Structure 1
């Protein structure tokens, strides 16, 4: 395309901003949302655990989202089973569980992405989305976890801390590591978040 045609196209689309919106709209898949309609809490990108493909959390806008910091060698690692059970039970109603491996507590997630993926997918049969290892506390804390802390005033104190983001993308409930995914409290909160 020559320069003259490019400028005509830009003018027709409403300027450079219009061109950007048009390009983004064409590149999106039906399952994803535009960043304009994406809640700030979900407006983050992370590499997927199994292949490091960048994933925008905006694709989960409008769903109830359970965010969990995980670890492979923790006394709570068996909670993968309960998290997968929640995902299987509520997925069709709009719940997604997002797992974020972290080595912040007790150095209980020392492995690389391949090792973590093997444990999650092969040992525990995890089907919910898992992402590459991040920091959830301290100076290197992920911006997502910074926002979750601001929303609840509760930071994870160990592995398998849970945050439930309601469909509105703003309301967040925090659950401690020791609370099992199958607990009545979490089930009630999920039911409320899905309504």
Structure 2
């Protein structure tokens, strides 16, 4: 099993196989529109715009498991992200990242890169996972890690050419 074995749904309900991102560097983030970290949308969008032509894709998964900070419908989430942060990276349907109904993608991400002291639980919104061009889950970042501070880890991965 690897990252490319999973299927997710867009905000519009369209099924997407992660295999369609093969050869890209992925930054996978659980997001929320009413969180103290919500302004990170701006940093994520800036990273995406700066490096998308080099192969970076940010994949955002809204989650309402932390303080009910993503209560909106898919349409409301799309509207918020577009109007407030001009988000152009892929946004997916709301998922659960912990507990009995954890999305299989997040179960995989958490087992591949456990958090502090080996805990697999996602602690809050805006936890980030960095995935290399070959689909390997390379790093996990805490919610308070700014997108800008991840850029030095991205650059060597983006310099690698797909398939290399």
TM-score, structure 1 normalization:
0.76
Secondary structure of 1:140's partner? coil
CA–CA distance in 2 between the matches of 1:41 and 1:57? 7
Structure (1/2) with the larger helix percentage: 1
- 5+ residue gaps, structure 2: 116-120
Within the candidate set 124, 143, 152, 2:113 is matched to 152
Partner of 1:93: 54
- 5+ residue gaps, structure 1: 1-38
TM-score, structure 2 normalization:
0.90
**Which structure has the larger Rg over C-alpha atoms?**
1
Alignment of 1:97-116 (within 5 A): 97-116=58-77
| RMSD of Structure 2 on Structure 1 (CA) | 1.2
The structure whose RCO (Cα within 8 Å, separation 6+) is larger is 2
Give the C-alpha shift of residue 42 in structure 1.
2.6
Structure 1 window deviating more from structure 2 (97-106 vs 164-173): it is 164-173
Partner of 1:15: none
1:19-69, Cα deviation, whole Å (9 max, x unpaired): xxxxxxxxxxxxxxxxxxxx72132222211x2111111110111000000
Partner of 2:33: 72
CA–CA distance in 2 between the matches of 1:130 and 1:114? 11
Runs of 4 or more, structure 1, over 4 Å off, are: none
8 Å contact from structure 1 (residues 66, 162) kept in 2: yes
